[in-house]
Amino acid sequence: MPIPQEETPDTQPDPGAKSSLELGVIGNGSVAALIDGRGRIVWCCLPRFDGDASFCALLSPKRDGGDWSIELEDIDRAEQHYMPNTAVLVTRLYDHHGSGVEIVDYMPRFRARGRFYHPVLIARRVRPIGGSPRIRVRLRPLCGYGSEVPQTTSGSNHIRFMLDGVVQRLTSDVSSTMIERSLPFFLEKPAHFVFGPDETLMESPADFIHHTLENTLTYWREWVRNLSVPYEWQEPIIRSAITLKLCQYEATGAIVAALTTSIPESANSGRNWDYRYCWLRDAAFTVRALNRLGATRSMEEYIRYVFNLVADGDGEIGPVFGITFEHDLMETQVESLAGYRGMGPVRVGNDAWRQRQNDVYGSVVLASAQIFFDRRLEHPGDELTFRRLERMGELALRVAETPDAGLWEYRGRAAVHTYSAAMCWAACDRLAHIATELGLDERARYWHDEAVALHERIEAHAWNEKLGTFVDAYDGEHLDASLLLLADIGFVNAMDPRFIATVDAIGHALGRGDYLFRYIAPDDFGAPETSFNICTFWYIEALAATGRRERARAMFEHMLAQRNPLGLLSEDIAPANGEHWGNFPQTYSMVGLIQAAMRLSRRWEDAL
């Protein structure tokens, strides 16, 4: 079947488009914070990713506060960048008189005494970089998602904040009075701020920041140096990989879908969800992307999370859990926050935990498969690990052809979704390969036979002869972007005419310029208004896999141009103006960038 020729679009970004999510992220595997373009901390949940939003200015608290700013008087402009190959953020502020300050923000992470040091701590260093700058420090955390001002106590060089479930202490070489009253002062020498556990700092703030900053920089540079990056687009890939790493909760291995809640998928849409939890599917995508870069530690930690999660149960597994294995994520609305740009509601918890999403079993198996084949691992997969994983396969067989909410978590309808069924097939298929690798011939035959039979049944129901495409659900008539993954998971060959026809039909039906919607049929909230970033990347990969590499490269370059100034992506983009929407930073989006870049990049040996 000939491949249709497509015109290469204009890849220049809309000069009028501006992302209002121009935020950077710092973190260390315990906590994370979002910082705006002027160095203001506007989002940070304490004492962990899904804790109370002590810094909640991003979601418009109805009372003053919820931020931590270093304000430069008579400010003229600001600039911001990451220290190369690290999660350390640098913001420079300049006033109208030529004076300036530099803010360095980070959360310590490095090895010490045989383990990782990654406390619930924000470190900030502010130094003059010209003239005679005058600054004001406003440290205003809130409690109860913006509903209350915390009680405080103070000494000559520290302030204690009694937050929701945690007491944080600010230790600084700036006097407590200047900070408590937000008094302006001339910055004549570097100032240091350590906002962490309620413990006496055993060294000066300057010394603490000096050695923890150097050790943190060394950690991140070593971590990046061990990545297997392709020749092209190294900086975007590295930034995406670091961002994914910041979304893994070190204590358990859980990976959150995003660091925020309730940033709407489009303006005033009501599609405001809490993403600060571990979707087994999203986390598996993250693991697979990091595996391709050689960062296999995240896979090992995620598998530990999953096995601990399911150790005490024998029934079906839900799609999403808390980062410390919580099952019931009761969804409530927070009245004390008006929402992102005033666009509420703000939700805490996510009722998706109640849903059946049958693809999760395949997601776990695919994310885990590499441990049985990768000889670099200190503890490769063995027969015991395989037996644990077989439970995912048995559950996949049980539910493969039963209705579920699907990949897109429909709240108002259920069907036998093609992608869900295909992922159940993938679980059986990979278990057959793993059993063969382990020399378990009887189990290999069992899983192979089950995979073949399931594959035949799915093909019979998921192919629509009248439309000439695969469809989103058994015996259905609609398309969705998840069908683009059928070749990626090995269900169908990328050059199969049926897959090529499906890719072309999806591009025609769901494409909007250089963006792709996940689906266009109205759901519980009406018709979608924004493109879904990972779907655009899936389409780019599918174009490349089916021979349209130039078109794929042009679309990929366009998506790179849509990243915010620090190289990050949210969940969705408005095709009309390139504006970012949805929770941030979105692991799905960073995963899509990595995988598309690795498929499209020239090889080192061909480039040098």
Entry pTM? 0.94
In terms of C-beta density within 10 A (0-12 exposed, 13-18 middle, 19 or more buried), how is residue 402 classed?
Answer: middle
In a domain, 242, yes or no: no
pLDDT of 11 over the 60 cut? no
511 band by pLDDT with thresholds 50, 70 and 90:
very high
Half-sphere exposure of 219 (CA within 13 A, CB side): 24
528 band by pLDDT with thresholds 50, 70 and 90:
confident
DSSP 504: H
pLDDT of residue 174: 96
Tell me the average pLDDT across 46-50.
97
The residue with tokens 């983009």 is: 573
> 175: helix, coil or strand?
coil
Contacts from 105-108 at CB under 8 Å and sequence distance 24+? Answer: 105/26, 105/33, 105/35, 105/39, 105/41, 106/26, 106/213, 106/216, 107/26, 107/27, 107/28, 107/30, 107/31, 107/32, 107/33, 107/216, 108/28, 108/212, 108/213, 108/215, 108/216
User: Residue 183 has which token pair?
Assistant: 């008094």
pLDDT of 13 over the 70 cut? no
In a domain, 93, yes or no: yes
In a domain, 482, yes or no: no
DSSP 296: T
133 band by pLDDT with thresholds 50, 70 and 90:
very high
If one counts the domains in the chain, the total is 2
In a domain, 504, yes or no: no
> 125: helix, coil or strand?
strand
pLDDT of residue 476: 95
In a domain, 527, yes or no: no
pLDDT of residue 18: 45
Helix H or strand E segment including 460 = helix 441-462
Strand partners for 332: 348
CB 458 within 8 A of CB 466: no
- Would you give the distance in Å from CA 577 to the centre of its chain? 23
Q: What separation, in Å, do the N-terminal and C-terminal C-alpha atoms of the chain show?
A: 35
pLDDT of 10 over the 80 cut? no
pLDDT of residue 14: 38
pLDDT of 521 over the 60 cut? yes
Strand partners for 185: 135
User: Residue 304 has which token pair?
Assistant: 């530990």
427 CB contacts (<8 Å, ≥6 apart)?
Answer: 361, 362, 364, 365, 366, 392, 393, 396
In a domain, 436, yes or no: yes
pLDDT (tens digit per residue) in 61-105: 999 999 999 999 999 999 999 999 999 999 999 999 999 999 999
pLDDT of 276 over the 70 cut? yes
In a domain, 392, yes or no: yes
Average of per-residue pLDDT values in the chain:
94
- Would you give the distance in Å from CA 137 to the centre of its chain? 30
Residue span of the structural domain in which 439 resides = 355-470
pLDDT of 377 over the 80 cut? yes
56 CB contacts (<8 Å, ≥6 apart)?
Answer: 42, 43, 66, 142, 145, 146, 337
The residue with tokens 């192979």 is: 448
pLDDT (tens digit per residue) in 449-495: 999 999 999 999 999 999 999 999 999 999 999 999 999 999 999 99
Residue 442 CA to residue 478 CA, distance in Å, equals 40
pLDDT of residue 523: 73
Question: Which residue stretches of 38-192 are H helix?
Answer: 176-180
pLDDT of residue 603: 87
Residue 136 CA to residue 104 CA, distance in Å, equals 16
Count of all residues that appear for the chain in the document:
608
In a domain, 223, yes or no: no
Tell me the average pLDDT across 409-437.
95
Residue 94 CA to residue 130 CA, distance in Å, equals 9
Where does a domain end: 205, 221, 243? 205
> 352: helix, coil or strand?
helix
110-119, 248-257, 299-308, 405-414: range with lowest mean pLDDT: 405-414
pLDDT of residue 502: 98
Residue 435 CA to residue 445 CA, distance in Å, equals 9
pLDDT (tens digit per residue) in 175-230: 999 999 999 999 999 999 999 999 999 999 999 999 999 999 999 999 999 999 99
pLDDT of residue 379: 86
5 band by pLDDT with thresholds 50, 70 and 90:
very low
In terms of C-beta density within 10 A (0-12 exposed, 13-18 middle, 19 or more buried), how is residue 465 classed?
Answer: exposed
pLDDT of 15 over the 90 cut? no
pLDDT of 302 over the 60 cut? yes
pLDDT of 416 over the 80 cut? yes
Percent of the chain scoring above 90 in pLDDT: 89
Where does a domain end: 452, 470, 488? 470
Among 179, 90, 95, residue whose Cα is nearest residue 138 = 179
Among 73, 97, 78, residue whose Cα is nearest residue 89 = 78
Where does a domain end: 448, 470, 492? 470
